[in-house]
Structures are given as structure tokens and as C-alpha cells.
Structure 1
Amino acid sequence: MSSPSDRSAVASGTFTIGGDLPVYRLGYGAMQLTGPGVWGEPADRDEAIRVLRRAVELGVTFIDTADAYGPYVNEKLIAEALHPYADDVVIATKGANTRPSPEEWIPNGRPEYLRQCVEGSLQRLNLDRIDLYQLHRVDPTVPFAEQVGALAQLRQEGKIRHVGLSEVTVEELVEAQRHVPIVSVQNLYNLAERKYEDVLEHCEREGIAFIPWFPLATGQLARPGSILAEAADRHEATPAQLALAWLLHRSPVILPIPGTSKVAHLEDSVAAATISLTDDEVAQLSALS
């Protein structure tokens, strides 16, 4: 894995996904590298490429994307910027969320479509096997067992190394585990929004990676004079950096994936890995929501 440095994701510690993919816990979510509404090409393609390369320079070894981002643009950008991939870099992608227009995100969990999604991602990312493939959304019109079963079959064929889920309940996670080993869950979770505490607790018990999307949300919690703002001042950090530091301290299975389209913002986010919080600070911040 990458060498330590002062402003590096290395300081976030490691987690081993699926028992054989060690990554530094502070990753990078690539969604914002597309155009407005997660649609089309980035406004500044050169900066997007710089962001991805700088992330790896800063020690990031876990990068999350999806075929729906663009659609397809995001995966192509990652391959352009980073292929051939460093041995320690894990590219996770997602499928089964279609984009008929910039405003629409429509699940499609039909097994034949999932196979098409995986084949397309393999081609765009220039990979022979996807290390972590996640069901982007559960399709309520298709039996869940068929959706998970399709991914299990693709895993058996060697096109997927590990399977993950996104935006699921504990019940859905347990059901999926009956069909295929689940190594990650990507749900909405941050300092201000914690409705999936039960899913996080299940992941802790099972040793499953919990990947919080929208990790930087602080909302009213960051208002001047708040506990979050005061803690940020003590650490000479921003409220967003404290929100990331809190996630890293909240559970050893949490892998935050802050996203940005600017190198300067990326560097600020990665610096959050170096912030050490006391148990009291973690408890005070946890009590905010």
C-alpha cells in the first residue's frame, strides 16, 4: 500500500474488504466528476483527471463510481486517469440504476440487464474483473432473490470479485446473504442523518464494510456556536472535516467516500484523516442528531 504522508488517507487506517482487499478507510466518491445533475461530461475535464490522480497520490486506495454517473462518463474518466491501476487501488462500481434523463434514476434489476451492466463496466474501466460490484438500487418490480442471484452468478464466472448492496434495510441485507456473500453496504449516512444505525450495527457484527454516501452533510449542525463548529475551531478544521473525522471514529467498518471536482477540496477532505477526536468529542457529536 502507499507510503504514509502528513496529509494522506493513510492516516485513516485500513479495512480489508471481503477478507482480501485491504484499503485505506478514507476513500473517494467520483460522482461529482460528471456534469450538473450527475449528467454528461465534467465542466473541466483536465481538473477531473487531476482530482483522480491526486487522490491516489494522497494515499486513497478505494474509489467508488457507478455506470449511472454520466451515465458511463464517470467510469471512462477513471480509466483514462488511472489505468493501468496501481496494485493497491480498488475500483468499486455499481449498476441497476438507469438514467433516461438527467432528472430520472430508475432501478432495473432484471438479471439480463445486470449482466449487461457488468459487461459494460468491465469494458469502460478496462478491467478483467471488478473487485467490488454493488447493486445500486433494489428494483421493487423484480424478485430480490433474482437480482442478487444474478450477481452471484457473475461472481461465480469470475467477472465480479465481491458483491455489495446500496440503500438497503437489515432485512434485505440478511436475505441477500442467503444467496451470496455480501462484503459492503452503501447507504445514506452522515452526522446529520442516521436512520440506518441498525444496518451499520449489523455490518459491524458481520465485518461488512459500511460506505456512507453523502458523508459531508452537516446542515444546521454546523451553525456558528454549535458543538460541531466549536469542535472544528479547536482542531483548526472545518465542520465538514470534523464530520468526516467523526465517521472514521464512529465505527471501524465505516469507509467514507467524500467527493469533489476540485483538487483543493479533495486535499481538505483527505486531511480529515489526520484529525484525532477524543471519546468525549465523539460522544458529543454523536448526540447532535
Structure 2
Amino acid sequence: MEFKQSLKAKSNYIERLLSEYMPKVEGYQRTIMDAMNYSLKAGGKRLRPILTLEACNIVGGNEADAIPFAVAIEMIHTYSLIHDDLPALDNDNLRRGKPTNHVVFGDDMAILAGDALLNYAFEIMLSNSIDKENPKKYLRAINEIAKSSGIYGMIGGQVVDVQSENKVISKEKLDYIHLNKTAAIIIGCMRAGAIIGDATEDELEKITKYGKNIGLSFQIVDDILDIVGDEAKLGKKVGSDIENHKSTYPSLLGIEKSKEIANDLIKEAKNNIKDLQNNSSFLEGLANYIIDREY
């Protein structure tokens, strides 16, 4: 219960930050701002921005320096969800318990809302970096986020995911999809937070391994929940992987073996961070939370 209370408090903090950083809804283009706000404020645990700040904290950095990056990563994540839900991709009508963006605003505005969130995320990061005393580390952090959300990360994984529908694929290709579509942006946001916090290369490597392990475990648990989860609790449609004929860990290895792999990854993740300089209890609790999400 203590961890869930801490997670809720951190999530609420991110909500306040998002409100502070979003542009005013005004001008001829106000519709796009309404669409951006609709999805950005739809809820969620805000794990990626929280991880950005926690990575900065655990290496002894100044959390305030990482705030613009935490806000930006949630905008990038939200843009990816808006585009994922479109009819041309997953064709989902429910996200976080609410009608998806394209259902409310139409396909055209949903596409533009995703584009706008992606661009605005980089505006925020750059405008909060160029006048810093040491801009190089901030640019390095931006580069980490750009790579992890681009063709060598999230988008690359999504491409292979889409192209693998209606096919039985190898575990190697499935790992590529999960490590890029889901884990890459988790790794990227944590590396960015750690870099801003002046992490050593050894610390950065440990945080990278943690991010990789929880990211892959997170996706495996998602695959399981898509089969046996409660739609009301998840806030999204279940069964979409089967409907879209996607290969997943449960479809390739079975549910029990998938649970076993996810548990092993979480154990490894907690081991990765146990020797970092600041208290790792929250990140350990987060790892447990990922694996303990209700089946």
C-alpha cells in the first residue's frame, strides 16, 4: 500500500507539471490544443516521466533539471498512443476508459494532435536546454529520447509489429518488437534523467539494464493482460492481440512460461539498481508493481 500511495503522489505531481507546460487553448488552432489536452489529460500512471525523475534522483542529480524532459516524454508517449489507436493501425475505440482521440476529434485531428505533441515535446526540451551552463549534457539527453522514440527505437518496433500481423514470428523477432516498441522509450527516458543527473558511465549502464528489464517485462505482462485482464480495470479493450492476429509471448510460449520470464526479468531489474548511490526502494517497488498488475 505504501508504494501505491507514493506512486499516486508522484503521478499527481506529473499531472500538475503537464498542466503547467501545456500551451493555452487559444487562436485559430485551438482545436488541435483541445485534442492534445484530451489525450494528455486522460489519465494513466505516468510511469515514463516518473522514471525520468527517479533516474535523475537515484544518481544524486537535481530533479528540477529533469522536469522538462519528464513532461516531454509523456507527450511523446501520448502521441504514440493516439497514433496506435487509429483505424490504420490498431483501430481501438477505447483508451484509459475513454473514447480514443480519433473517435472524438476525427482521424485528421488525431493525426495532427499526435504530430503536435511530438513537436511540442522537443520545443520544451530544447527551450529548456540551450541557455544552460552545460548544454552538452542536455543535448545528449535529448538525443537519447529522440533515438529511443524513433526508427531505432519505438517507431522501428512498431513497424515490425505492424508487418508481423497475421504471421507466426520467431521469439527473436518478437523480442526485437518488444525491446523497441515498449522498452526503448523506457530506457531512453531513464538514460536521459540519469545523464541530466550527472551519472557516471557505470551508473548509466546499470540504469540502462534496469530500464530494459522492466520494459520487456511490462510488455509481456501487457500481452498476458490482453488475454485474461479485466477491461474495466485496464481501461482499454482486451483481446485486440488475438483479433489482430499478433504474435505475443503467451501465443508463442504460453501464459505460465510468459509469467515466469516476466518474473525473472523483474528480479534482474531490482538487482541492477541495488548498488546505486541513492535509495532504490521506489524503483524496486515499481518493478514489483509491473509484475503484480492484476491478471
TM-score with structure 2 length normalisation? 0.29
Higher helix share: 2
